Structure 1
Amino acid sequence: MNSQTPDQTTPSTNPADILPDIGTAAPPVDTRPTAHPRNFGSDNWAGVHPEVITAIAEANVGHTPGYGGDPWTQRFRDIMAHHFGPEAQAFPVFNGTGANVLALQSALPRWAAVITAASAHINYDETGAPEKVGGLKIVGAATENGKLTPETITGAIIGRGHEHNAQPLAVSISQSTEWGTTYTPDEIAAIAATAHENDMILHVDGSRLGNAAAHLGVGLGDITTVVGVDILSLGGTKNGLLGAEAVVVLNPDIGHGMRFLRKMNLQLASKMRFLSAQLNALYEGDLWRNSATRSNAMAQHLAHRLAEAAERGRVPGLEIVQKVESNVVFVRMPAEVAARARQTFAFADWPLAKDIVRLMCAFDTTTEDVDALVAAIVGD
């Protein structure tokens, strides 16, 4: 006997009746370059360098062992040893936050605290991942320009030996910093000495390590291995990769659990050859330096053009607020000026300071892009 009343219907089990019609629910992605103009929101917004796309395609051949047993990953280890010394151990991972958590977790016990700048990515921009996933306490110290000093570090060492306190066992610096400033080799050496004198390790968040090295005119090892860095998160995505970073262990006395932690932390790629192929394309030759030099130069050009406009009084209230030492320019910009420029270009408000915007250049930024942005800001 049918118990349904006349206005009741049995729900359809036909997928065609349940799922939306993809062809009509949303228009297809417009892949014309004009539909995706260059912007200054982040170097993450940029596409992938053509040489990296080629490297991925060339690695897409036949079958090869997974989880790092492939020749591309072995080649990556050799390239890292060339940059960072024969004792360096390198581990490709998917992303920067994963690299930071994995690096710190592999080197520290669960009761450790990590001293860093308050503006550091591990403190401000990673949704608490080093603490929630890594199980580590982050101690954010106030800085003027995103850079720690030996004095700042010493002042942040509290609770040593007390069971009620997380134990300060690491220092982490960003190179370049979140404020776009760059540590010199001497500054890093002094920080490393302070850390080691206090029985702490030194970690570098090197998501833009290439930009820092290009700005300083030195090699990657000169601002890591040579000056006492113990473990490094090595960037790739912000310098033109599709999605690949790495953890590089420089101190052979730490990081022994990396082989197991990488899997546990969801950072072990099965088809690792495609991560390694990208990293090889970037770091085997000069691509990392050329791309970083280009983005740095565009930031310098942008800063020069904006300073010129400010000096001529064309934009009252416009002011560059940090040294330009990498691929980013921080500008104090009146709200009405920012609103006008955003009719043409995207860029970010900087949440750590009022009326400051961040203008980020990428490996593919051109002088024409910069000049068009300046025109939008000036109102030409």
Structure 2
Amino acid sequence: MADRAAVSGRTDARRRHDPEVRGFASDNYAGAHPEVLAALALANGGHQVAYGEDVYTENLQRVMRSHFGPYAQAFPVFNGTGANVTALQAMTDRWGAVICAASAHIHVDECGAPERVGGLKLLTVPTPDGKLTPDLIDREAHGWDDEHRAMPQVVSITQNTELGTVYTPDEIRAICDHAHARNMLVHLDGARIANAAASLDVPMRAFTNAVGVDVLSYGGTKNGMVFGESVVVLNPDAVRAMKHLRKMSMQLASKMRFISVQLEALLAKDLWLRNARHSNAMARRLADGVRAVGGVEILYPVQANAVFARLPHDVSVRLQERYRFYFWDEATGVVRWMCSFDTREEDVDGFVQALKEELAR
């Protein structure tokens, strides 16, 4: 009976997986942190007003302002794509366009949602490391008076980037100053914002509201939550009709307290930072172990919780039979290994040993 959930004999809830199995495919694969689950239980029971009028969502505003300044306003949503699309819709006109890196999640991994749901034009720029610069932005920041071209209105950056690299506060300040001087706004996709802050060893405000970011998509799922993210408006003048757009975008949770209390559990104290520091440390341990193995090339600086590497294709295929991970570019043999808040040292060491064994075959 140990595999059955301790809830009720009237359900068929039971454990259907091995909780000892861990891989390196995605930090989305991890479960929820026990402290988050405990917070969910505390928020359960009784009735609370629906659609964000509950006491947990009210308190979340105070918590967010402690991190992102007195003007910050949180709009909890279900997922990261919802946060990004809703935020970008609120920041643009119908004829607006968003400048982003060619590797950006909004361009590569959101199934065209910004275009098809948000009605936005994405103006993408190739980058060597996933990071935009003022010069790279200027490749697409033009033609505002040309009615034949979508109007650049927002620069969207990701912190940390999809390639695992981290912007410094000065780099983001330069982007914000450059964008604002051209009457554009800045959106930050913070799916892994906690990992970036842990890597830089600075508060999250140091590279968001303090340097000019207008709107933030705050990510919690990859850092220990069950589900849920939040749009955080840092500059109230940057958005229009956020409440209406969230509802129209199907991102308004009726039982919002269960998203808000998870964000509170992460952010009210230091759980967000503890989790991020651990996953970053496991990625560094993995990178250090891999560097000692001949036949593997690490492609980008390991600054957060991701390791990008190139190794022989057949080795990757065999290794995938032992540990789950993804090809980033199968044609060139590039793979991505992600660490999570629950990755253990023995998981990393076992993976490195398995890699050695497969390379030796």
Q: Distance in 1 between matches of 2:165 and 2:227?
A: 24
Equivalent position of 2:187 in the other structure: 203
Equivalent position of 1:369 in the other structure: 347
Which residue of the other structure, out of 255, 270, 273, is the alignment partner of 1:271? 255
Q: Distance in 1 between matches of 2:213 and 2:308?
A: 28
Map residues 294-309 of structure 1 onto 2, 5 A cutoff.
294-309=278-293
Moved over 4 A (4+): none
Matched AA of 1:331: A
Map residues 316-331 of structure 1 onto 2, 5 A cutoff.
317-331=295-309
Equivalent position of 1:175 in the other structure: 159
Task: Please state whether the residue corresponding to 2:115 is helix, strand or coil.
Answer: helix
* Structure 2 residue 120 is the aligned partner of structure 1 residue 142: no
Cα displacement (A) at 1:340: 2.4
Which residue of the other structure, out of 15, 21, 25, is the alignment partner of 1:37? 21
Which is further off, 268-277 or 340-349?
A: 340-349
* Structure 2 residue 196 is the aligned partner of structure 1 residue 218: no
| Unaligned stretches of 5+ residues in structure 1 | 1-27, 311-316
Q: How many residues align?
A: 347
Equivalent position of 1:336 in the other structure: 314
Which residue of the other structure, out of 167, 186, 192, is the alignment partner of 2:170? 186
* Structure 2 residue 66 is the aligned partner of structure 1 residue 88: no
Map residues 337-356 of structure 1 onto 2, 5 A cutoff.
337-351=315-329, 354-356=332-334
Cα displacement (A) at 1:339: 2.0
Cα displacement (A) at 1:219: 0.5
Q: Distance in 2 between matches of 1:107 and 1:35?
A: 42
| Unaligned stretches of 5+ residues in structure 2 | 1-11
8 Å contact kept, 2:63–2:268:
yes
Which residue of the other structure, out of 110, 114, 128, is the alignment partner of 1:126? 110
Map residues 47-62 of structure 1 onto 2, 5 A cutoff.
47-62=31-46
**Percent identity between the two aligned chains:** 53
Q: Distance in 2 between matches of 1:65 and 1:289?
A: 31
Q: Distance in 2 between matches of 1:287 and 1:373?
A: 27
Render the CA deviation track for 1:32-68: whole Å, top value 9, x for unaligned.
6636601111000000000000000110021110011
Of the two, which has the highest radius of gyration? 1
Q: Distance in 2 between matches of 1:255 and 1:90?
A: 13
Q: Distance in 1 between matches of 2:332 and 2:123?
A: 23
Cα displacement (A) at 1:105: 0.3
* Structure 2 residue 360 is the aligned partner of structure 1 residue 360: no
Please give the root-mean-square deviation of Cα atoms over the aligned residues, in Å. 1.4
Task: Please state whether the residue corresponding to 1:169 is helix, strand or coil.
Answer: strand
Task: Please state whether the residue corresponding to 1:253 is helix, strand or coil.
Answer: helix
Task: Please state whether the residue corresponding to 2:163 is helix, strand or coil.
Answer: coil
Which residue of the other structure, out of 253, 262, 269, is the alignment partner of 1:285? 269
8 Å contact kept, 2:132–2:157:
yes
Task: Pick closer, same or farther for the CA change 1:346–1:273 going to 2, 3 Å.
Answer: same
Equivalent position of 1:159 in the other structure: 143
Task: Please state whether the residue corresponding to 1:350 is helix, strand or coil.
Answer: strand
Q: Distance in 2 between matches of 1:75 and 1:186?
A: 31
Task: Pick closer, same or farther for the CA change 1:353–1:96 going to 2, 3 Å.
Answer: farther
Q: Distance in 2 between matches of 1:34 and 1:121?
A: 30
8 Å contact kept, 2:313–2:330:
no
TM-score for the superposition, normalised by structure 1: 0.89
8 Å contact kept, 1:340–1:377:
no
Task: Pick closer, same or farther for the CA change 1:352–1:175 going to 2, 3 Å.
Answer: farther
Equivalent position of 2:63 in the other structure: 79
Q: Distance in 2 between matches of 1:188 and 1:353?
A: 33
Q: Distance in 1 between matches of 2:268 and 2:72?
A: 15
Matched AA of 1:362: S
8 Å contact kept, 1:340–1:376:
no
Task: Please state whether the residue corresponding to 1:155 is helix, strand or coil.
Answer: coil
Task: Please state whether the residue corresponding to 2:122 is helix, strand or coil.
Answer: strand
Equivalent position of 2:51 in the other structure: 67
TM-score for the superposition, normalised by structure 2: 0.94
Cα displacement (A) at 1:103: 0.4
Which is further off, 33-42 or 82-91?
A: 33-42
Cα displacement (A) at 1:352: 8.2
Map residues 21-32 of structure 1 onto 2, 5 A cutoff.
31=15
Equivalent position of 1:238 in the other structure: 222
Matched AA of 1:296: N
Task: Please state whether the residue corresponding to 2:138 is helix, strand or coil.
Answer: helix
Matched AA of 2:243: R
Render the CA deviation track for 1:7-26: whole Å, top value 9, x for unaligned.
xxxxxxxxxxxxxxxxxxxx
8 Å contact kept, 2:198–2:277:
yes
Matched AA of 1:319: E
